[in-house]
Every structure is written in C-alpha cells, then in structure tokens.
Amino acid sequence: MPELPEVEVVRRDLDREIVGKKIKAVDVDGMRAVRRHHNRKQFTSRLVDRKVTGVDRRGKYILCRLDGDDVLVIHLGMSGQLLRTKSSRDAMAKHTHVVITFTQGGQLRFVDPRTFGEMFVTPAGTVEKEVSELAHLGIDPLETAMSWEHFGHMVAQRQAKLKPLLMDQKFIAGIGNVYSDEILFQAGLKWDRMSDALSQQEIRRLYRAIFETLQDAVKHRGSSLADEQYVDLFGRPGDYQLHHKVYAREGEACRRCRRPIVRQRVGGRSTFFCEACQV
Ligand SMILES: [Zn+2]
C-alpha cells in the first residue's frame, strides 16, 4: 500500500504535469472507482471544461484544485496507480477505471486492480465531510515544521507503543507498516517501547528519524515492493526499497551490525527490526 512518500511523489509529478491543463473529456468504466457519485455523469460533468489550478495533498489523499469551487479528490488505496500518457493512443492497461483527456493533449489514467482506491469531485470546503478521517488527521511530517521539543511533548502525552503510535493517523499522517519499521531502525528504538518512557535523547533521535527517513524516501521516489503496485506518474518504480534497512529483510544481515534482521508478528502484521541496534 502506498504510504506518505509514494503519494507525495505522485503529487509532485501531477503538480508539474497537469496544472494549467483543461479537461476535455472523462471516461469512466464501471462505478466502483467513482462510487461516491450516483452515476457517471454526475462525476464527469463536473470535470469537463474545468482547468486544474493546483495539486495539494491531505495525508494520503490527493486534491486536484479546479477553477470554480470544486476539487477532484484521488485516493490510491491499496493498489491504485495514476498514469500520465502523452497520447490517447497509448495501450490501455488492464483495470483502467477512469481516463481524463486534456484539451492540450495526453491523458491521466486511473488504474486499480483491487479497486480500494477512488476518485470523486466535491466542493473544496466539503472534503473533510466526505472523508471524515481527514478532519482528525495528525501532523504531516513532509509539510509541518515543528520543534523537537513540541514533538517530544506530543509523544510523552500518549501512552502507546512506538510502532502503533507512528501508524496512528490521528498522531502522524501517512505512515504505515514499511516506514514505521524503517523509522524505528533509524532511531535505534524497538517497536514496543512506550512513548511516555523515552529519554530526551531518544525523542530527539525519533524526531530526526521520522523527517529524514520520509524525505529520503521521497528523494528516491518511494518504495516499490515485490508484491505491490506502486509506480510514479510515468509508470516507473521507485528505488527506496533498495535502501530499506529492515523492512522485508528477515534473516539478512543488519547493515549496521551484521546480525540477522528479525521478524515478529504483531497484531496480524509483520514487524522487522534488529535486536542489537534497536533497544
Ligand atoms: Zn543491527
């Protein structure tokens, strides 16, 4: 499932590629990807002849601002991909649900084999009403500038194990199973340490690890995992998976101490860590 860095890479690509473009036509295959609308026309008619004026992100939701008051909201879900094609004659990928054609040429296509992702159009002011989790979203580590003292205060107020705390969308937006493991390795902290029992030095390490790991992942254009679908707007995989220190590296040598990385099942999820480097 794409996490914050992957969605941010797609947002930046969209910002460069579709801002200023006018929508000429929209084709929708089935209702699944646009299920918040009553029918296809209710979705397509609000897009045709509109111009994209900007691309924002709220957590893992991409918001394409349109002239007028509406936004096109896109959520990639588990396996969604957005693909920019230069020509409408480019071969159509299987599971293409929505095709947006621009007046200036080229298309934006939404491909989603598992269809947990979606697209919908809504007035800008109602996005939080449509997606209630956005009304309670925690800090965005790629957007929010925050002092480590303030962060330390937030962490200490919660009495939670570190991994579930990092994955709590009301605490920090967009971190899932991959980046929580990578951040905790980077911080040298074990997943089940309690957030209200960290030293000042440990809080500082955790703070730095969150921002550095996610920014580094964006720089490497995200993680494309073996069994998953993430690619950028041009269909290219990211390469941050090659730099993972612990995630999916069970039995392989720790890059810091050479001991084998351990996998533990916690609450139905795999957690990867080094027993020596993370305490
Ligand atoms: Zn180690």
161 within 8 A of 192, measured Cβ to Cβ: yes
Confirm whether 60 is a catalytic residue. yes
Confirm whether 259 is a catalytic residue. no
User: Tens of pLDDT along 161-197?
Assistant: 999 999 999 999 999 999 999 999 999 999 999 999 9
21 pLDDT higher than 70? yes
Instruction: Give the closest residue to 213 by CA, choosing from 141, 151, 154.
Output: 141
Confirm whether 163 is a catalytic residue. no
pTM: 0.96
The percent of the chain in helix, strand and coil, each rounded to the nearest 5, is 30, 25, 45
CA distance 217 to 14: 18
pLDDT given for residue 228 in this prediction: 67
The residues, any chain, with a CB within 8 Å of residue 267's CB and separated by 6 or more, are 164
Confirm whether 2 is a catalytic residue. yes
54 within 8 A of 11, measured Cβ to Cβ: no
Amino acid at 226: A
Query: Which of 57, 60, 190, 245 is labelled catalytic?
Result: 60
CA of 188 to the centre of ligand 1 (A): 9
Range of weakest confidence among 14-28, 67-81, 168-182, 215-229: 215-229
User: Tens of pLDDT along 121-140?
Assistant: 999 999 999 999 999 999 99
Q: What is the mean pLDDT of residues 95-113?
A: 96
Helix H or strand E encompassing 75? strand 70-75
Q: What is the mean pLDDT of residues 68-82?
A: 95
CA distance 20 to 2: 27
Helix (H, G, I), strand (E, B) or coil at 180: helix
